């Protein structure tokens, strides 16, 4: 297996596992807590992170990013999907399934695909290599949000195991 693919697969799994580990320490009574009325709650951050694993898998399989005709409508649909995912167990199931899809999609990429650049059709592009790294990086970034929220309610524990 290509070392690039193996590295990205490892990153995706580790990012998911670290996110789920830290999220498991969010008390049930804090799942819908937010710093301000407009800030995302831990369950909303988790839903977003979980759902994007599957979205990244689709981008990798299709070798393109979504190009919605109506961005406002697309974002509203994405937001609705995130707000519907309110159960800790269901979020984890969606996250694990999406990550499994990422791993399978990464295995399908040829060396030429890995070296390619994706044009968004919206005035920007990204390398396939950057997209390959996104699942793990994305989970790690949102794990930081969960860590921050935990400190806001007084949880100063460092979760490493």
Confidence check: pLDDT of 71 > 60: yes
* Claim: this prediction has a pTM higher than 0.85: yes
| Closest residue by Cα to residue 19 from 58, 54, 53 | 53
Residues 117-158: tens digit of each pLDDT: 998 878 889 999 999 999 999 999 999 999 999 999 999 888
Position with higher pLDDT, 66 vs 51: 51
Tokens representing 81 are 């999907």
pLDDT, mean of residues 5-13 = 97
Q: Which fold has domain 3-29+41-152?
A: 1.20.120
Q: What is the pLDDT of residue 160?
A: 76
Q: What is the pLDDT of residue 2?
A: 60
Contact 150, 27 (CB under 8 A): no
Confidence check: pLDDT of 1 > 60: no
Residues 16-29: tens digit of each pLDDT: 999 999 999 999 99
Confidence check: pLDDT of 161 > 90: no
Axis crossing angle, helix 128-152 with helix 88-107, rounded to the nearest 10: 160
| Closest residue by Cα to residue 56 from 122, 139, 133, 135 | 135
């Amino acid at each position: 297996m290509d070392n690039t693919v193996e590295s990205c697969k490892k990153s995706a799994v580790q990012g998911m596992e670290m996110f789920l580990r830290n999220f498991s320490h969010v008390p049930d009574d804090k799942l819908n807590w937010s710093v301000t009325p407009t800030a995302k709650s831990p369950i909303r951050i988790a839903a977003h992170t979980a759902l994007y694993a599957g979205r990244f898998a689709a981008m990798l399989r299709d070798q393109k990013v979504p190009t919605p005709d109506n961005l406002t409508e697309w974002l509203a649909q994405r937001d609705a999907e995130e707000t519907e995912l309110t159960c800790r167990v269901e979020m984890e199931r969606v996250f694990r399934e999406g990550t499994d899809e990422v791993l399978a999609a990464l295995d399908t990429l040829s060396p030429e695909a890995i070296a390619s650049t994706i044009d968004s059709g919206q005035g920007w592009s990204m390398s396939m290599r950057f997209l390959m790294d996104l699942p793990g990086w994305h989970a790690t970034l949102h794990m930081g949000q969960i860590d921050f929220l935990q400190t806001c309610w007084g949880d100063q524990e460092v979760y490493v195991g």
